[in-house]
């Protein structure tokens, strides 16, 4: 499985780096796709699994911190009634979550097997990164 990580770099004017998570010398960082290493803010860590894309084919990144949601993509989401709302993507345990209600379902049921990111593909559109 291809897993990419994104996090905000330290001293890089707020730029986010995408690549592979690395802990060197006790510091959290990203080894980007060009082979450069960047020290990053661990609190902004988000992951992308192969196939997690929005309706325009843009990679989706889900925050690994379900409390602060830092680093997760802000997306416009169309619900089953056709209403559009904004939400921050979060990865919680073993599922891509688009709101805190789903996190509560997972917490209450450890047999929950998760939701395929492809299920949301046609309903999501990335608008930015949650700071």
Give φ, ψ of 117 to 5 degrees.
-55, -30
The confidence band for 1, taking pLDDT boundaries of 50, 70 and 90, is low
pTM value > 0.85: no
Mean pLDDT of 95-117: 51
pLDDT at 108 over 50: no
Q: How far apart are CA 129 and CA 72, in angstroms?
A: 6
- What is the per-residue pLDDT for 79? 65
Digit-coded pLDDT (tens) for 77-94: 776 677 787 888 888 766
Mean pLDDT of 111-131: 63
Mean pLDDT of 93-121: 53
CB 69 within 8 A of CB 83: no
Digit-coded pLDDT (tens) for 12-67: 678 999 999 988 777 899 999 999 999 999 899 999 888 788 888 888 898 988 78
């Amino acid at each position: 499985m291809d897993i990419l990580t994104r996090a905000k770099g330290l001293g890089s004017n707020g730029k986010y780096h995408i690549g592979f998570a690395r802990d060197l010398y006790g510091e959290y960082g990203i080894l980007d796709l060009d082979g450069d290493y960047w020290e990053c803010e661990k609190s902004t860590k988000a992951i992308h699994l192969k196939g997690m894309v929005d309706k325009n084919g843009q990679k989706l990144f889900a925050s690994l911190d379900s409390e602060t949601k830092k680093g997760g993509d802000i997306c416009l989401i169309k619900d089953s009634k056709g209403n559009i709302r904004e939400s921050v993507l979060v990865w919680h345990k073993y599922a891509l979550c688009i709101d805190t209600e789903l996190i509560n379902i997972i917490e209450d049921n450890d047999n929950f097997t998760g939701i395929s990111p492809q299920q949301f593909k046609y309903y999501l559109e990335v608008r930015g990164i949650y700071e």
